[in-house]
Structure 1
């Protein structure tokens, strides 16, 4: 496993990190014992950053992860959770809620601190509440030692372009913007460097777009994106390859992107993902896939308020 420095935090994080959303049965019904084994397999493979949220499985992911954490040494990993989003349309970024949300997360996670607390999907609210209520709450929690670092996350890149000059945070989580079909995250790198903000990339499979199973029904991508990604996945299959492998290798390969989150509740899957990034990428296949995806390159979808979707 390779490790890279995360912004100005001083932390060296594994290039592949573990997203615990799957432990909350977000994508399919999962067995809690298997989920616990998956987290331990991730640690054994050298992964040292784990991300979760109370939103995932209506707190189930945190609960299962907490049980897994209690069975190992806390100094083996960095732990990230979130606050502010609690349901499909349930958001609360008030100072009081951020503080109480963390306390509840700590109880579920069976720990007395987290390394990162991110404000979850902040593109759905006006920026004033984030700037005036939520960020001061994060700063207060840092002063108390309950979190080491603060962050924000969301889908639109315009969100970070708007917020980073106005707030001081240690890291961001961006998803679906550095994958085989979308490289637009790269344009954000100068801004992140300027403000010394760490970057966590997520969803190298673009929330299921890059799969022969096809995107889930709820996926918000335009139909042309879904069709192109399916063609790319099928080409890989015809050539005896797995587009998931290519996608994970690609998303973890950029030296300026410290880490990429993948989520699974299957121990074999996380072991396989960790092994993939140690193998050389198939450059010929990569070029063929990128050519298929070129017509929909960097095509995204709206999320949140109009301010971030112009």
Structure 2
């Protein structure tokens, strides 16, 4: 497994990391026993970073992960969780709720501290609550030793462009913006590098878009984007290739992207993903898939409040190219 420097945190993170959302049965009904085996298989495969949230499975993912890591040496892995989002439409970024949430997460996870705490999907609330309550709460938790580093997460890239100059955080978690169909995260890298902010890239399969299976009804992508991604996946299948392999290899290949999260509750799947990272990428197939996806490249969807959506400014426009 390859490792990369992670912003200013002084940490080395595996290029492939483990997203524990699947342990909460958010994609399918899962077996706790199999989920625990998956966590152990991920660590045995060289992955050293695990991310979770109380939102995933309404605390189930944290509880199952807590069982999996209970008997493991704490210095064997880096662990992040989140605060602020607790249900589909349940958000509370008040300082008191964040403090309580961390205590609850630590109890479920059977640990004394988190390496990173992310504010979860901050695009759903006005910036005032983030600036005045949530971020100061993160700083207080760092002082208390409950967390080592602080971060924010969300979908719109414009969100990070607006917030990062105003807040002091160590990391961000971005999803669905560095994958085969969307590389718009590249435009944000100069800003992250300017502030030495660590990056977590999540969902290299674009929340299931890059698959031969029918996209879930809840997926917010438009029909043209769904159709193009499925076409690309089916093309890979005709070549005897799983598009997931190409997607994972593509997302982990860029030296400027420290780590990419993948989620599964199947131990064989996480071992397979880790093996893919070590194998050479089929450049010819990548070119062919990129051509299929070209008409929808960098197409995304809105998330949260209007003030955070719309076209982000590019590095070139900012003068940081």
Q: Given the two structures, how large is their TM-score scaled by the length of structure 1?
A: 1.00
Match of 2:319 in 1: none
Q: d(CA) in 2 for partners of 1:57 and 1:234? A: 30
Q: Deviations over 1:92-116 (max 9, x none)?
A: 0000000000000000000110100
> Pairwise CA RMSD of aligned residues?
0.4
Match of 2:263 in 1: 263
Match of 1:272 in 2: 272
Q: d(CA) in 2 for partners of 1:52 and 1:195? A: 25
Per the TM alignment, residue 71 of structure 1 is displaced from its structure 2 partner at its CA by 2.4
Q: Deviations over 1:45-103 (max 9, x none)?
A: 00000000000000000000000011211110000000000000000000000000000
Per the TM alignment, residue 276 of structure 1 is displaced from its structure 2 partner at its CA by 0.2
Q: What stretches of structure 1 of length at least 5 have no aligned partner?
A: none
Match of 2:291 in 1: 291
Alignment of structure 1 residues 201-240 onto 2, 5 Å: 201-240=201-240
Q: d(CA) in 2 for partners of 1:71 and 1:229? A: 41
Q: Given the two structures, how large is their TM-score scaled by the length of structure 2?
A: 0.96
1:31 is the counterpart of 2:31: yes
Match of 1:149 in 2: 149
Q: d(CA) in 2 for partners of 1:76 and 1:215? A: 36
Q: d(CA) in 1 for partners of 2:104 and 2:240? A: 46
Q: d(CA) in 2 for partners of 1:215 and 1:119? A: 28
Match of 1:165 in 2: 165
Q: Deviations over 1:216-267 (max 9, x none)?
A: 1110001100000010000000000000000000000000000000000000
Q: Secondary structure in 2 aligned to 1:66?
A: helix
Deviates more, 1:67-76 or 1:273-282: 67-76
Q: How many residues align?
A: 310
Q: Secondary structure in 2 aligned to 1:68?
A: helix
Alignment of structure 1 residues 175-194 onto 2, 5 Å: 175-194=175-194
Q: d(CA) in 1 for partners of 2:102 and 2:166? A: 24
Q: Deviations over 1:175-225 (max 9, x none)?
A: 000000000000000000111100000000000000000321110001100
Q: Deviations over 1:144-195 (max 9, x none)?
A: 0010000000000000000000000000000000000000000000000111
Match of 2:130 in 1: 130
Q: Secondary structure in 2 aligned to 1:307?
A: helix
Q: What stretches of structure 2 of length at least 5 have no aligned partner?
A: 311-321
Q: Which ranges of 4 or more aligned residues in structure 1 deviate by more than 6 Å? A: none
